[in-house]
Structure 1
Amino acid sequence: MVLGIVLAGCATFPDQGPRDWRDKLEGAGELGGPPSVQEPPPPGGENGQRDGRPPQSGGQQAPSGCEDPDPQVVATCLEPVGAVAVLPDGKAALVAERTTGRVLRVQRGVPPQLVTTVPVDAAGGGGLTGLVLSPSYAEDQLVYAYASTAEDNRVVRIARGEPPKPVLTGIPRGPRNNGGALGTDVDGTLLVATGNAGEPAPPPGSLNGKLLRIDTLGRPAVGNPDPASPILSSGLQAPQGICTDRSTENTWVTDRAATQDVLHRVAPGPLPAPAWTWPDRPGVAGCMAQPGLVVIAQTGGASIFVLRPAETGAFTGDPETLLAGVYGRLSAATLAPDGLLWLGTVNKQDGKPVSSDDRVIRIQPPSGGGESRA
């Protein structure tokens, strides 16, 4: 059994001070690449966030109602997006609305279709914040979701034509940091990142503020540090996304820590020092990973942040900020089977929504990196 989590320590990087990043435009790709942003629109709103309006250069039309002329926009007029799980064909995806608990099937040119509604209590940053296909989706057609209820935070299983069923319950909830994220590792086990529910230092055996590793029935996965416990790692505060590079088997978790936003390279036990930090707290959210590339959606920063790790986890080259201000506040990010990057917005949540918000977007990701330079 190969444990799809790195067992070595995490590389750390000293604070290099503020840097002036420039947007780098990538190749066209299937959908024309990221929009051609010559100069990002001026900042507006709190925390310098941009609104969701695409730049008008190049003749780009503004949305009209729920009609959005941007060919990279897959779905419109949603409630704030908590998570996205792309279906195997790469053309459609399941979308979780954080505050309503609705799970919708979306595809460009097709009206969103309601799959199910998960009962949620969205107070304290909770709601429907995680969504992932079953590791054996081709056979069982199951989907797993991370949801907050009035009593706890939990993982539920969604099957066609059935109400959501609990898989792992009793994850503590509190006045804040109730959200969580879901992913899978290379062994096909479920990864569950849980918020600390407002406890700065949760007890070691509690399920809040942890990265859990479970099978599809909610039992501790084989290979965990304690075979009787679902806990793989500890030390999270308000995790937003989990992503695994299937090639290198590195798993990454984004977290909004007490004094800064961070990216962790996962290791069993207490999480080591972050692999990357953002002292300016841009609101890191969902992430995607593939060989030589980690992309992090940013909510307050209204952009994506691009890092290029080597197999060791060390980063090579300079990071990049892309899509600044183009779609507004970004939340979900996930890699589709065909290699495209899917994003979700939360402009109705403390942003400046356009008429077609909130939206799901599908774009060509930036190019990957390579090995660390000597």
Structure 2
Amino acid sequence: MRRAAVAAAVVAALAVVGGCATFPDEGPRDWRPKAEGQGELGGPPALSPSGEPAPPPSGQQPPPSSSGGSSSPQPCVDPDPQVVATCLAPVGAIAVLPTGDEALVGERTTGRVLQVKKGTPPREVTRVPVDPATGLTGLVLSPGYAEDRLVYALAGTPTDGQVLRLAPGEPPKPVLTGLPKAARMAVDVDGSLLVATGAGEGPLAGAVLRIDTLGRPAPGNPDPASPVLSRGVSAPGGVCVDPMDRTVWVTDRAGSRDVLHRVTPGTLGPPAWTWPDAPGVAGCAVLPGTLAVTERRAGALFVLRPGDNGTFTGDPQPVLTGTYGALSSAATAPDGLLWLGTANRDGGRPGATDDRVIRIQPPAGGGGSAA
């Protein structure tokens, strides 16, 4: 796909509320707070924009096996200038670093956390023990990252889902345990951690949780003793927050359709947007005036423009369709660019340099139907 087409397709912004609602949670609480520590995650590699799949040059590093990345010293290079990192395992999460040109990337099936930057080979920072069936699905920077260099990860282990604290030179430490394995994570505007969990057994299933970095219910929750902000989630694909109006958005795969929820305290109401064709909604990101949702099965980026009172304006259209394949993760950068991750090696049709991390100018558009 032409570079101009890709640039035109880039989404401009997503919106999410870092809501701090309060409502009671019923039943026993399975969360266990842990003490927070300090540390440094070392310097991340730099990234830059890229585009569509293309055959890699000779001598490139082969795609990683399911047990980890390739050990070949030869570089894996993608000719697309918007591609930042290549030949990865399926990308489960991206956390853009303050510089804007580098990021931490979580490989879903291996649990590796890599620092990536354009023109620099990915560098492994740490490895999180995961169950490959669910894997590493969330990475966020600590609210005080500039000072403490801490990162929080969301991982499905053989026994449960866990929020983990990652500090340099230390093994991953649990902050919140006992979660359903299928979960997604984001950071609220006040520094609280937002965790959307899939349906299942237990008091923390099928809910949007709001906790502090020690795993305790965040101040301002409806029930001060409960981490639950809202209930009614089925199989979350992503969580994102609009820093301007503090709106929290959750993408969800609900039976025969995919939906987008505007999170409200208590029980989620009707979807704010519906995809009757169930394109496999995944990560979401907010840019000024724009909400972008990655679609795995459709291999596209869906762009909506939030309006007043939970409505949307304009005619949403999918963009980047078929350009990079299955899109799994999305994150915004301080410089306004949009970072995307692919999951073509996760049951899709991988190209020669999959899986990849891409950095693009945000697009405008969207496609589906109002709730």
Q: Which runs of 5 or more residues in structure 2 are unaligned?
A: 1-16, 22-47, 61-75, 367-371
The residue type paired with residue 63 of structure 1 is: P
Q: Which runs of 5 or more residues in structure 1 are unaligned?
A: 8-30, 36-52, 55-60, 173-177, 370-374
Separation (CA, whole Å) in 1 of partners of 2:243 and 2:271: 21
Tell me, yes or no, if the aligned pair for 1:189 and 1:213 is still in contact at 8 Å.
yes
Identical pairs, percent: 62
1:110 has 2:113 as partner: no
Aligned twin of 2:192: 189
Separation (CA, whole Å) in 2 of partners of 1:103 and 1:318: 37
Aligned twin of 1:296: 293
1:99 has 2:109 as partner: yes
Aligned twin of 1:168: 176
**Matched residue SS, 1:317:** strand
Aligned twin of 1:5: 19
Q: How many residues align?
A: 307
Aligned twin of 1:333: 330
The residue type paired with residue 194 of structure 2 is: L
Q: Pick from 139, 143, 162 the counterpart of residue 135 of structure 1.
A: 143
**Matched residue SS, 2:278:** coil
**Matched residue SS, 1:131:** strand
Q: Cα RMSD (Å) of the superposition?
A: 1.9
Specify which structure has the higher proportion of strand. Answer: 2
1:27-66 equivalence runs, <5 A? 54=53, 62-64=55-57, 65=60, 66=76
Separation (CA, whole Å) in 2 of partners of 1:325 and 1:6: 38
Tell me, yes or no, if the aligned pair for 1:181 and 1:241 is still in contact at 8 Å.
yes
Tell me, yes or no, if the aligned pair for 2:55 and 2:352 is still in contact at 8 Å.
no
1:32-89 Cα distance to aligned partner (Å, 9 max, x none): 8x96xxxxxxxxxxxxxxxxx64xxxxxx64334210101000000000001000000
Separation (CA, whole Å) in 2 of partners of 1:283 and 1:270: 23
Tell me, yes or no, if the aligned pair for 1:220 and 1:227 is still in contact at 8 Å.
yes
How far 1:160 moved relative to its partner? Answer: 1.1
1:146-295 equivalence runs, <5 A? 146-172=154-180, 178-196=181-199, 199=200, 202=201, 206-295=203-292
TM-score, normalization by structure 2:
0.79
Tell me, yes or no, if the aligned pair for 2:55 and 2:353 is still in contact at 8 Å.
no
Tell me, yes or no, if the aligned pair for 1:131 and 1:181 is still in contact at 8 Å.
no
The residue type paired with residue 140 of structure 2 is: V
1:88–1:134: structure 2 CA closer, same or farther, 3 Å change rule?
Answer: same
Tell me, yes or no, if the aligned pair for 1:334 and 1:341 is still in contact at 8 Å.
yes
Tell me, yes or no, if the aligned pair for 1:304 and 1:323 is still in contact at 8 Å.
yes
How far 1:313 moved relative to its partner? Answer: 2.3
How far 1:6 moved relative to its partner? Answer: 8.1
TM-score, normalization by structure 1:
0.79
**Matched residue SS, 1:319:** strand
Separation (CA, whole Å) in 2 of partners of 1:195 and 1:171: 9
Separation (CA, whole Å) in 2 of partners of 1:226 and 1:259: 33
Separation (CA, whole Å) in 2 of partners of 1:70 and 1:238: 33
